[in-house]
Structure 1
Amino acid sequence: MSVYKVIELIGTSEKSWEDAAQQAVAKARSSLRELRIVEVSKLDLKLDEKGNIAAYRARLNISFKYDN
Structure 2
Amino acid sequence: MTLLKVIEVLAESDQSWEDAAKRAVKIASQSVRNIRSIYIENLEAAVSGDTIRVYRINAKISFTLDPSDE
Q: Tell me if both proteins adopt one fold, taking TM over 0.5 as the criterion.
A: yes
TM-score by length of 1: 0.84
Q: Counterpart of 1:65 in structure 2: which amino acid? A: T
Q: Percent identity?
A: 39
Q: Distance in 2 between matches of 1:51 and 1:28?
A: 32
Post-superposition CA distance 1:5-61 (Å, at most 9, x none): 10111110011111111110100111111011211111111234x464220011111
Cα RMSD (Å):
1.5
Q: Counterpart of 1:13 in structure 2: which amino acid? A: S
Aligned to 1:25: 25
Show structure 2 runs of 5+ residues with no match. none
TM-score by length of 2: 0.82
Aligned to 1:47: 47
Does 2:55 match 1:56? Answer: yes
